[in-house]
Amino acid sequence: MNRREIVLASIVHVLGARPNFVKAAPVIEALAARGARQAVVHTGQHYDERMSDVFFRELGLPEPDVNLGVGSGSHAVQTAALMTGLEQEFIGRSPGLVIVYGDVNSTIAAALVAAKLGIPVAHVEAGLRSFDMTMPEEVNRRLTDQLSDLCLVTSPEAIGHLADEGVDVARCHLVGNPMIDTLLKNLDTFDTGAVRAAHGLPDRYVLATLHRPANVDSPDTAAVLVKNVHGVADLVDVVIPVHPRGRANLLAAGLDDHDGVHVLEPLGYIDFLAAVRGAAAVVTDSGGLQEETTILGVPCLTVRPNTERPITITHGTNRLVGFDELVPRTRAALEEGARGTSRTPPLWDGAAGPRCAEVIMEFLGD
């Protein structure tokens, strides 16, 4: 465990995986501008340098006050280790509020520990629902919202989901999407030409990210997915930065056995979004990328039967596809080209961080 000297802070942010870092950066910055005493606990759930440390540097996040170094493991093993380490941190720091982000195991672990210690919890990105309880993220989201004193909501339908589950609407605040704050702040740094040159990428390509357990954990399912990715590569080159999760199964299924498939190591935030910005289309099972392509105007095909972000379909560029639809839908997207959108989701305007800070400081009594 790497730690700096414990400094008492009124707010502790718990970050565990790369989507958390992107969401937290504008919230931390806005709270700092208001003079809040903050500490950042990095759980080490994403422990590869390309999945965590580079994000801190690129997003201007403060150096974590502690890195628990939890690493990987089964859901039970990882969550237990997270709770043990976080309990020690919360007892030592005595925060007035713990802020958690998204839906990873670090999120639910921190919410559970804080609730048991009587520490208020704020959940950034509350109320998203896929209504698919086979997804570990859905379990994490639902339980975290029940434990949270502040539910900071990115899209209007999420407030309805929370109300349906008995969450007091007085705890719910529509603040917008801090992930979009980060995107808009860095938009001018997304240099697609530089990324193409650095990685030898073609001028026209589809960018793919595939890591959901339902898609990659089973060798048989991964093989079917790879077959369809190869079908896309028959149409246009496919660039795929491979997430550590599922890497073995995807490569064992022959992912890189097609001349049109360009397998990359994970990219940092700036390079990844530059690659997304220059793509003819995106194939993904990620949550956040559905949001980022909505703002960038890049056609997005989400290889899932559902999404917890339906606003990316009604207001954005996103479409849900099954394995057997992937090739024809990609062909249609390539023919149609960038659709863009004139219906940006409400409050996805680059000011979600300050709105989060306002709600949080009011809750803490400034």
Q: Using CA atoms, how far apart are residues 126 and 305, in angstroms rounded to an integer?
A: 21
**Concatenated DSSP letters of 59-99:** HTPPPPSEE-------HHHHHHHHHHHHHHHHHHH--SEEE
Query: What is the maximum alpha-carbon separation in the chain?
Result: 59
Nearest Cα neighbor of 99 from 110, 84, 83 is 110
User: How many whole angstroms separate alpha carbon 9 and alpha carbon 200?
Assistant: 46
Residue/partner pairs of 315-318 with CB below 8 Å, 24 or more apart:
315/341, 315/343, 315/344, 315/345, 316/290, 316/291, 316/341, 316/343, 316/345, 317/293, 317/341, 318/290, 318/293, 318/294
Residues 6+ apart with CB under 8 A from 64: 15, 40, 41, 42, 56
Does residue 211 carry a catalytic annotation? yes
Other Cβ atoms within 10 Å of 120 Cβ, number: 17
Catalytic residue from among 211, 243, 258, 315: 211
Active site residues: 211
